[in-house]
Structure 1
Amino acid sequence: MKNETHVKTGILGTKVITQIGILVEDIEKTSQAYADFFGIDKPQWSLTDTVDIAQTEYKGQSSEARAKLAFFDMGSLQLELIEPDQHPSTWRDHLNEHGEGPHHIAFIVDGMKEKIQLLESTHMPLVQKGEYTGGRYAYMDTFKDLKIMFELLENDR
């Protein structure tokens, strides 16, 4: 009986994918291509915060990594385009190793620290984490088992 809740809600406590993150070399060009394809306005990109605000950590070390982000709200799902800078990050490494394309799927969670510990206990380590206005994120290396990285998003109440 004790694992019944775990089976119903899974490790994350949700099965709702909120976002798909896609790595790109040129956010302007790719944003325009998406906007044209879907017949919608091209969103303005924004730059992630500096390390002193974002507290970005990659593989356990502080990182100056920043990225240009563009968001497309597609009904129940958000597409996030990510153009990373040259500093060490999961974005830069993934783009260098695999080229442009899917990087992660994201889920909104409650209890970020607990979810990170739970995933790490199942051999899915924390890769990168940071803060954003209104919350925090964590990229977990779920690739070996699930063939894509998971991003956990926790928004302040």
Structure 2
Amino acid sequence: MNSGLLGNHFITQIGIVVNDIEKTSQAYADFFGVNKPDTIITDTVDIAQTEYRGNSSVARAKLAFFNMGSLQLELIEPDLHPSTWREYLDEHGEGPHHIAFVVEGMKEKITLLEGKQMQLLQKGEYTGGRYAYMDTFKELKVIVELLENDK
């Protein structure tokens, strides 16, 4: 089967931006009948090496993850610094921000998508890997996140 531009077609995660992660996380926990996950805060720029629209960014966010079998639901409460999360929340309000795919060869995938007019919005590091948000909104009506995990 054709695996498309990313090398696979399996959605790993759905990300939702919210104003109040504690309230929304509890609502999802109650809805799913599961324990409310711990909230974490993204690393500082010196560790995460966050870049937003080509510039270093101190933006951080509170995150909560619900592992739902083969799909993870990520809740994101951004701080007030410029980021794709803050921009999306300010322009569209709360709701779906991205769908994520695990990829191999992050730099190559970014270059491939940019060649198709899907620009890099934000990238950074996390413990065990890296992420990149690509501006696929015009074509796909949602941002695509690329996740590359260290081996």
Aligned counterpart, 2:67: 73
Percent same amino acid at aligned positions?
A: 76
- In structure 2, distance between residues paired with 1:30 and 1:144: 28
Aligned counterpart, 1:138: 132
Measured against aligned partners, the alpha-carbon deviations of 1:106-149 in whole angstroms (never above 9, x if no partner) come to 00000000000000000000000000000000000001111100
Structure 1: state its 5+ residue gaps: 1-6
- In structure 1, distance between residues paired with 2:108 and 2:6: 10
Aligned counterpart, 1:102: 96
Aligned counterpart, 1:119: 113
Question: Which stretches of structure 1, 4 residues or more, deviate above 3 A after TM superposition?
Answer: none
With normalisation by structure 1, the TM-score equals: 0.95
Q: Residue type of the partner of 1:79?
A: L
Is the counterpart of residue 150 in structure 1 residue 144 in structure 2? yes
The partner residue of 1:54 within 48, 60, 79 is: 48
- In structure 1, distance between residues paired with 2:26 and 2:7: 35
Structure 2: state its 5+ residue gaps: none
Aligned length: 151
Q: Residue type of the partner of 1:57?
A: E
Is the counterpart of residue 35 in structure 1 residue 32 in structure 2? no
